[in-house]
A and B are shown apart, each in its own frame.
Chain A
């Protein structure tokens, strides 16, 4: 009898301990200043989770727009930059429609950038409903998030709900991105060859792109260029041209634990890669001609060695954006994600911008 009871006691004890730890770690932590909140926004057939972390002391909420499409909101929380920003502001991370842990039921044909801009507007309405109309909202979009953010700012009068727009290596004009990627691989590749860095690899990469007709880049070629851009960034990373991101912290591991990479990957594939109509819309979207309509304060942050969305896009946005209050910052040791390569400088720029415009 004793032999039977002992293992059962063991199992019960461990189970209780296990769940006590998990539920203790999951308790909502909120005091006067700090906030840790999760809620869902149900809009047009989608159930979109939003994760809020940070300090309410300034009543500033920075809504992040993750990249991809196909990534998830909490990826934007990884790294020291987000941790530092959370000390001053409430960072709003959310899984866009059909991505991350976002659920719902809708037709692939119904998905448009416009609908996703409306999702963002729904999120803003909920934030105001929950935290009051006096919250100070900023929008921070990275990569694809920069494209979505631009679409949002240009829709209706939405931009005037925001105190400012932070565009981080944003892909607001994919046809132009493709052209600039070809030019950057050739130009920067030759520079690296002259410096004696990964010479053979750069020669091979240049050989692959030099005959592309930049006046007529197809969507398929665009996808290939995106892959080559990532390869180019790897060479620079290997040769220490770009700054290595800081090593993964326990906080990052905890955030990764909250994500669900399998669901996110499959869901994102259905949503974007296997959805021709939406994919084509994204890959042909060009907002350069409409940037003059964006008049709110704008901060453009770009990595000098961003091959995925080259810094020429940043310079173009700086020139064309209608805002009188705008700033372009090129990070000299960064590629597509300056928040990972140069988190301190990245955070400094954002704090300076937010403090000046809240």
Chain B
């Protein structure tokens, strides 16, 4: 049931965005706020919120020989900050915060957005009930137990512009977060997020 719900959610976002985008105008706001469903391994559910700021933007034109037209391509350098959590059912909750420098290519004619980003982050796992056993075999309860990790992240994203009133676009990102000093080495976490980018200001 839960997997079906997740699929339904993704499809809904996709269908709605595509419908709404019929009337899209292709201007791109400097500051956007995003809200996403964040799924570790897709199906461990969470939420992610973020802010993006376009630091630099370059417009260039590319000739489309087949259609005999000139396509506009917008290349952007973006700084982004994200915060979120996900829930490992029946186990633990994880909260994270990361900052990325993103390179984005926007093709207004196709309404397509492709992003690649990289940056540092912090990850904290929060356990349920935890009991510590010391060297003297004493057992005591630990409150808010968990582990904090340095967690750099690589983001690969795709999406479509919507540009309808206050929704800028939808996105689907693949996130590879690497937790360092996890047990004896490191461990990668593969996550996906799907959501909407909202215009912070209308221009």
Contacts and interface: CB of A to CB of B under 8 A. Distances in A.
Interface of A: 1, 3-4, 6-7, 10-11, 14-15, 17-19, 21-22, 25-26, 38-43, 46-47, 49, 51, 97-98, 101-108, 111, 121-122, 125-126, 129-130, 257-258, 260, 262-263, 266-267, 270-271, 274-275
B16 A11 contact: yes
A103 B125 contact: yes
Nearest to B140: A129
B13 to A, nearest CB: 6
Interface stretch (B70-78, B105-113, B114-122, B188-196): B188-196
Contacts of B1: 21
Contacts of A121: 137
A42 B6 CA distance: 34
Interface stretch (B26-34, B59-67, B128-136, B151-159): B128-136
A77 to B, nearest CB: 11
8 contacts: A11-B9, A18-B6, A98-B184, A104-B183, A107-B184, A125-B133, A260-B41, A260-B44
A42 B142 contact: yes
A98 B184 CA distance: 7
A124 to B, nearest CB: 10
A15 B181 CA distance: 34
A266 B139 contact: no
Contacts of B128: 38-40
B180 to A, nearest CB: 10
Interface string B1-38: 11001101100110011011001000000000000010
Contact of A43 (B91, B132, B167, B185): B132
Contacts of A19: 45
B142 A103 contact: no
A6 B15 CA distance: 12
Contact of B5 (A14, A40, A102): A14
A11 B12 contact: yes
B144 to A, nearest CB: 12
A17 B147 contact: no
A49 B146 CA distance: 12
Given A14-B5, A42-B145, A260-B41, A101 B190 contact: no
Contact of A271 (B87, B164, B183): B183
A17 B167 CA distance: 22
B147 A103 contact: yes
B187 interface: yes
Contacts of A260: 40-41, 44, 88
Contacts of B130: 39-42, 47
B44 A38 contact: no
A7 B90 contact: no
B184 A26 contact: no
Nearest to A50: B131
Given A4-B165, A7-B16, A21 B145 contact: no
Contacts of A15: 9, 37
A112 to B, nearest CB: 13
A4 B5 contact: no
